Structure 1
Amino acid sequence: MIVGKGLLARAFEPYFGKDPHVVIFASGVSNSLETRPSEFEREQSLLRDLLDKGARRFVYFGSCGVTASEPELTPYMQHKQAMETLVRSAPGGLVLRLPQVVGKTDNPHTLTNFLKDRIASGQHFTVWSRAERNLVDIDDIVRIGSKMAVESNNTVTMMSIAAMNSMLMPEIVKIFESVLGKRANFSVVEKGEPMHIDTLLAKEICAELGIDLGKGYIESVIRKYYGSDYRFGQEMPEHHSRVQHYYESK
């Protein structure tokens, strides 16, 4: 059973759309900048109703961002923390924590679409100098998540699916500039912190599936989804690779 209509829901539909024993909960607050209590309450109400039905396996998509320090936790992340706790306490509950998911979607609120849109249009945006981000391909989430949903022991209640190493936003923006062939128009805010993600279990599962989330993974994901459709037909200036960027995106 699939709950939701977005990127994650569509990706898992072929595998669990007609499975009455596995619930893939891919509905709820999709904008990480959301602050309205009504939106959080709507997701919580739907989640509780479905958990009460007692599926053999109930998969909820959490966020790797919930491990940030308390001052960095937004209302959205605080909400995700509460929902993760709710799911993990239910029989068969499994939380798959995700970083920034990359796939074919028109959602302007994803980090990668935000960067692509701003750089492509030349619009100004603000970035955080010390923050790290992590990207993961929707195709890899489906392969890993499906295995966990049907094969893992129910004693496993949470795992993170993410690249083995997070990347500083300056490096991510640099990759986008290279892929798009255009410089970013940005301002710098001296904020942010490292993104620590426990990927030990994901690494074990990936070894079984033949998925490599190691060095070069994040760049390969960006090029997979943005490397062919958004080119500007001009080479980057020769000195570009030597320019030290101090910026980070929220």
Structure 2
Amino acid sequence: MIIGRGLIANIFKDINKEDIIFFASGVSNSLETDANQFRRERDLIEKTIEENPTKKFVYFSTCSIYDSSKYASAYVLHKLDMENLIEKIAQNFLICRVSNAVGNGGNSNLLINYLVNNIKENNPILVHQKATRNLIDVEDVGNITLRLLDEKINTIQNIAYIDNFSVLEIVFALEKYLSKSAIIKLLNKGESYTIDTSYIVDYFKKNNKMIKMEYLNTLLKRYYKI
């Protein structure tokens, strides 16, 4: 069973399993502050688990929990609250903390979508020089989730790439790929944080995805047609 219609939900549409609930219908905008949106997600989680008590419940949380510039935000506090709720009421669960997923579609608030749109439209981009972000192919999110389902039930696991990218690295790669200069305003600020990916690093080794700039360029070619 798949709940949701967004970027992550779509990767499971061809591997729908009746004994598993992929819950990907939560709040996705990290800038969200509307209490009604948070309540809607909570109510739907409670209802879904109550109606399907024996099914494995897979919830997609966020790696922003590790970002010191965001961990006090309404969005992150909500995600932590939902993790705690699921741990309390679900018999079988897997909570996946996902970094910045990249794929076809998704909302305009997603990092790469935001940068691509603003570069194409000649809009200025504020870049925090010290900031890093972790980008991961949404297909890798799907593959790793299925692997974790076989090995890590009733746990919280990170799903992220093995290394972070500075925001400037991402912007420069986009400029080269789009053959278009970005209008950048640099700010001497930003946060960098690490994500433990030790358990899944062998996945990236096995699939020859260890060189981070090659990984980034492959994402751009795959999902952003010129």
1:141 correspondence with 2:141: yes
The size of the alignment, in residue pairs, is: 222
Question: Is the CA contact (8 Å cut-off) linking 1:144 and 1:206 kept in structure 2?
Answer: no
Identity over the aligned pairs, expressed in percent?
32
Distance in 1 (CA, whole Å) between partners of 2:203 and 2:55 is 21
Amino acid at match of 2:12: F
Amino acid at match of 2:201: K
Could you tell me the TM-score, scaled by structure 2's length? 0.90
1:101 correspondence with 2:101: yes
Distance in 2 (CA, whole Å) between partners of 1:205 and 1:220 is 17
Corresponding residue for residue 117 of structure 2: 117
Corresponding residue for residue 211 of structure 1: 207
Distance in 1 (CA, whole Å) between partners of 2:68 and 2:94 is 23
Q: How far did residue 70 of structure 1 move?
A: 6.5
Amino acid at match of 2:207: I
Corresponding residue for residue 246 of structure 1: none
Could you tell me the TM-score, scaled by structure 1's length? 0.82
Q: Following superposition of structure 1 onto structure 2, how do residues 1-250 of structure 1 map, counting pairs within 5 Å?
A: 1-16=1-16, 19-52=17-50, 53-69=52-68, 73-89=72-88, 90-105=90-105, 107-149=107-149, 151-155=150-154, 157-206=155-204, 210-216=206-212, 217-226=215-224, 229-230=225-226
CA shift in 2, pair 1:169/1:196, >3 Å: same
Moved more, 112-121 or 45-54: 45-54
Distance in 2 (CA, whole Å) between partners of 1:129 and 1:143 is 32
Q: How far did residue 65 of structure 1 move?
A: 0.8
RMSD: 1.8
Question: Is the CA contact (8 Å cut-off) linking 1:164 and 1:213 kept in structure 2?
Answer: no
Gaps of at least 5 residues in structure 1 are 231-250
Distance in 2 (CA, whole Å) between partners of 1:33 and 1:73 is 12
Write the deviation string for residues 141-171 of structure 1: whole angstroms up to 9, x where unpaired. Answer: 111112222x12425x121111111011111
Distance in 2 (CA, whole Å) between partners of 1:72 and 1:187 is 25
Moved more, 49-58 or 129-138: 49-58
Q: How far did residue 206 of structure 1 move?
A: 4.6
Question: Is the CA contact (8 Å cut-off) linking 1:118 and 1:124 kept in structure 2?
Answer: yes
Distance in 2 (CA, whole Å) between partners of 1:67 and 1:166 is 13
Q: How far did residue 49 of structure 1 move?
A: 1.5
CA shift in 2, pair 1:57/1:71, >3 Å: closer
SS at match of 1:94: strand
CA shift in 2, pair 1:101/1:153, >3 Å: closer
Distance in 2 (CA, whole Å) between partners of 1:70 and 1:120 is 28
Write the deviation string for residues 84-125 of structure 1: whole angstroms up to 9, x where unpaired. Answer: 222234321111111111111052111111000000111112
SS at match of 2:32: coil
